[in-house]
Amino acid sequence: MISISSQTSPRSRAFFWFSRLFAGASAPRPLLAVIGIFIGAFMTSLHTRMISVGQRDLGGVFGLSIDEMAWLITVLNASQLLIAPAVPWFATVFGMVRVVGIAGVLLLLACIATPYATSIEVIFALHIAQGILLGIFLSVTLLIVFKSLRPALWIAVMAFYGLRIVVGVNVGVPMAGVFADGLGWQWIYWTTGLLSMCMVWMIWKALPGQITDKAMLKRTDWPGIIMFCGGLTLLYAGIDQGERLDWLGSGVVVSCLVGGAALALIALVRAEFTPAAFPSRAGISNRNILLGFVLAGLYGMLISANAALVSTFLSVMGGLKAIQMGWVLLFAVAGNIAAIPIVIWLGRRVDARVNLALGLTLFAIAAVMGTTLTNEWRAHEFTLLLVVMGVAHSFVFVGLMAVIVSNVVPQNILSMLSFIPVIRIILPTISAAALSAWLRNQGAHYRAVLGESLPAGDTRVAGQITALQERYAGMGAGDPVFQAKAGVGKLIAREANVLAFMDGFHLVLAVCLVALFVSLLVRAAPWNPVSPPLKK
């Protein structure tokens, strides 16, 4: 045990404890490493969500148009894919401490500088840098878990890792509201910078340094990395902007989709005929892992339902701001946290498919609850629905990750991790775009149907117009007849939106049923220390 003499000067004692505080790790501290990297994973989800929710306020302070702000969010998320698939490889080559430490310091500098940026070029450059650095933290998380902890603990760790999704999606809304309307919008960035420093300190104290693996560095497949990462980046940009720019009606979207798909496909085909090429298909060649990726895509739709349906309904129908609706979204977080002990207990005792099926069933129940909404629903009415969704998230995520991890061969973990960003970023984006298109099309459909179902001269319509006309006449706000007819149009639009959101929950229910069917195709995993296979 290291001690210091009582006769040592205060300055020497301060220097001693300061050096102890910031001295690197001499032996691994797995728990501290996991906590540190989880801060990075939570930070990634939280940062992107806060910027997405606060885009109107940020667009105003940065002086960006609606189009420029939409592209800013796209490049922030897309730039994560510029490096994320290759991060496990580079972390193995250079060492996790070096990779995380450098990325954390650079992220702190980028977040400090962003609020002071004035030109659009600098603003975009700083957000691209933030995206690249956040992509590093997200991808290195599971690698640290697999290398630092024994497999028997992976289920528990994955249960807490899944919490980052619910926290990012739901806590990001009230935090963005508090920062934009209270503490100051700058804290959207500065909070991320502070969290990055906490993460770097924990990793520095938890993991000993590593010598660069020069032999592995020489085997790095740079062309494969550039093509695969570049292709995924372009694909994300095309998918994210597709709904806004009318998909095939936009040359930019078509170019991104075709170019990105071509680059990713070339990288995959090339890897089949080139030794030690990137990305290796070995990590996803197992049937259960491929089905797990399909389930992950369907799970992305369920995440989008939590992220978009509830908050968008409250914003559109209730006119609530982020700070006003944020408190109710915390019920999803509470449900997720409450379910974690049960999920861990079951995960260590039953087949991973049981957790998966239970979670999908709970999501289906939440979707059925959502199909009963009316135009009078506000935050309180969504409380139980969000709790059920939060519990369902925990079951589905742990079951899904257990299905994938329990079927991967240890020597193929790096290969499998290179495809995780597809699950984390690409598939949820496809789901969000599909859900957005569904809501838009259904809203337009119901506005047309409701408008056509009101025949000319209908006494009920005439009575409504008369009542509104009398109300507007007393207010003296323009032509009362015009105002009354416009009011009827608003009522039609309101009910069309309600029906569209109801159909959104019907879509979620359909996705749950499809996911349950796909889960039936998953075979029992071989014996593994992660999750026990179902006994026959």
Confidence of residue 536 (pLDDT cuts 50, 70, 90): very low
Q: Which of 67-71, 361-365, 410-414, 508-512 has the lowest mean pLDDT?
A: 410-414
pTM confidence score: 0.88
pLDDT at residue 405 in the model: 87
Pick from 213, 194, 3, 192: nearest CA to 99: 213
How large is the angle between the packed helices 66-78 and 120-148, nearest 10 degrees?
30
Q: Which residue has the tokens 């959104």?
A: 504
pLDDT band at 266 (very low <50, low <70, confident <90, very high): very high
Type of residue at 54? G
**Using one digit for the tens of pLDDT, what is the confidence trace for 405-437?**
888 888 888 888 899 888 888 888 888 888 888
Spatial separation of the C-alpha atoms in residues 497 and 443, rounded to whole Å: 5
Residue 153 binned pLDDT confidence (cut-offs 50, 70, 90): confident
Q: Compute the mean pLDDT over every residue in the chain, rounded to the nearest whole number.
A: 86
Q: Is the pLDDT of residue 5 over 60?
A: no
Residue type for position 521? L
- Which range is least confidently modeled, 92-96, 152-156, 285-289, 310-314? 152-156
What is each CA distance from 392 to 11, 332, 382, 508, in whole angstroms?
54, 9, 15, 13
CA 228, 142, 352, 371 torsion-angle sign: negative
Rg (CA), the chain: 26
Is the model's pLDDT at 515 over the cut of 90?
yes
Which pLDDT belongs to residue 6? 54
10 Å Cβ neighbour count for 506? 16
Which residue, chain included where needed, has tokens 């978009």?
A: 308
Residue 1 has what pLDDT?
44
C-alpha pair distances (Å), 337 with each of 8, 163, 277, 394, 424: 47, 7, 41, 8, 21
Choice among 36-40, 442-446, 477-481 with the minimum mean pLDDT: 477-481
pLDDT at residue 482, rounded to an integer: 65
Residue 308: per-residue pLDDT: 77
Q: What is the mean pLDDT of residues 14-36?
A: 71
- From the CB of residue 511, how many other CB atoms can be counted at a distance below 10 Å? 25
Task: Write out the two tokens for 486.
Answer: 């416009």
